[in-house]
Structure 1
Amino acid sequence: MQKFIHFANRLSVLLISLLLAVMCILVFGNVVLRYFFNSGITWSEEMARFMFVWLIFLGAILGLKDNEHLGVDMLVKKVSRRFKKILYVICNLLILYSLILLLNGSWKLTLLSVDSVAPATGLPYSYFYGIGIIASIGMGIVIFRNLYNGLFKKDTDHFVMTKDSEELTEPLAKEEGK
């Protein structure tokens, strides 16, 4: 299972990097063509928009996996371990519910837009809305993993889902002190 998670993580990072590179090339190339040659690639802006949406949703999956989303943990840090566990489960169940709503909405929009095509590229809009399905399933897998770890592992680090900026700089300060 760890090998699959590592492979999926590496594939996602590679795909995000590729999307960002192609998006930059398309937009920059289009700007140069319009500025110097009074022409352009008609489909580049639309394709860059498609790629940007995919990049954001794939990045959101990776951000959730690494607990890098914004959060408020003022209350969670002050309560007992047992209550932290209860709040952690409630929070993850609420996230899971919102992912079910995202999956349902994305599924409906994808089915509705199969026959609708983008004007410049001719791609079906279902490619645009289909990333919501992938993102909700990917994030759901992460939430189920978090719930399992939070309920059955003895480690208490799972219950605080955010990191303070001081916590991020502590390893660097320790390395510099050596």
Structure 2
Amino acid sequence: MSGHSRYEPQGPVGRFVHTLEETILSVLMGLMTVVTFVNVVLRYVFGSSLIWGLEVVLILFAWLVLFGIAYGFKITSHLGVDAIINLLSPRPKKVLAVVSALICVLYAVFLMKGAWDYWAPFAGLEQTTGRWFPTGIAEGTRDQAFYTTDQVPMPDFLQFLAGWINMGETYDKLPRVIPYAMLPFAVALMLLRIVQATIEVVTGHRQSMIVSHEAEDAVDEAAAKLKDA
């Protein structure tokens, strides 16, 4: 049975990528905690606050969720209902697992188009044509590269973006293209992980796209450890 507690990266590259992903998730969560803690201390001890603190935490939380979705597909940690499927024999169960995996791939393709079309105007790029699937590059997409966040200050070392996408006009606040960039990146990574998971389902290296009875297994493992202690 596949489950996140049993996930083992293969090879040095796989272990490096796995460690990198876990580090990114940990850093995002840690930064959220630090910014929130500092803001609380400033507010209740010194009577001031980081005016941009809440917005930064919201951005980091969105990044954590989006990046975590892709990571969840890799380690098979997404929940699902499999009570009826588990009543079936192995062959129809695998057929349904493959069908559900292919549906996930299709859905991720839809998300990828939507993510790009949402982010592209903020980067001064063109959206795609087509209602469901990208059929080409649209012309005349409204440029929204001048849109900025509400309170997050713009670091000086990122002002080069003004020359790239904002016709040389400097930013006084962080442009939205930066926090929104996680959307197409995370969805692309999600699509990659779903395709990889689908291949594993087809080849028999994974039972399904969802975690199966992982909670019960975790409880049993914890109980066994307590018994041995």
> Could you say whether these structures have the same fold, taking a TM-score greater than 0.5 normalized by the shorter chain as the test?
yes
1:161 aligns with 2:188: no
Q: Which residue of 2 aligns with 1:131?
A: 182
TM-score (norm 1): 0.86
User: Closer, same or farther in 2 for the Cα pair 1:119/1:160, shift >3 Å?
Assistant: closer
- Provide the rounded CA distance (Å) in 2 between the counterparts of 1:32 and 1:170: 41
Kept after mapping to 2: 8 A contact 1:73/1:160? no
> SS of the residue aligned with 1:120?
strand
Q: Which residue of 2 aligns with 1:17?
A: 26
CA-CA distance at 1:52 after TM superposition: 0.9
What is the letter of the counterpart of residue 184 of structure 2? Answer: I
Q: Which residue of 2 aligns with 1:54?
A: 63
CA-CA distance at 1:53 after TM superposition: 0.8
Kept after mapping to 2: 8 A contact 1:92/1:147? yes
CA-CA distance at 1:77 after TM superposition: 0.6
Structure 1: state its 5+ residue gaps: none
More strand by share: 2
Mean Cα deviation higher: 168-177 or 37-46? 168-177
Kept after mapping to 1: 8 A contact 2:28/2:64? yes
Per-residue CA shift, 1:146-170, capped at 9, x if unaligned? 22222223x5x51473222222233
What is the letter of the counterpart of residue 34 of structure 1? Answer: R
More helix by share: 1
> SS of the residue aligned with 2:175?
coil
User: Closer, same or farther in 2 for the Cα pair 1:172/1:29, shift >3 Å?
Assistant: closer
RCO comparison, higher one (Cα < 8 Å, 6+)? 2
Structure 2: state its 5+ residue gaps: 1-9, 124-144, 153-172
Q: Which residue of 1 aligns with 2:92?
A: 83
Mean Cα deviation higher: 158-167 or 8-17? 158-167
What is the letter of the counterpart of residue 162 of structure 1? Answer: V
- Which has the higher Rg, Structure 1 or Structure 2? 2
The total of aligned residue pairs comes to 176
Kept after mapping to 2: 8 A contact 1:23/1:52? yes
- Provide the rounded CA distance (Å) in 2 between the counterparts of 1:137 and 1:3: 23
TM-score (norm 2): 0.69
- Provide the rounded CA distance (Å) in 2 between the counterparts of 1:175 and 1:42: 47
What is the letter of the counterpart of residue 221 of structure 2? Answer: P
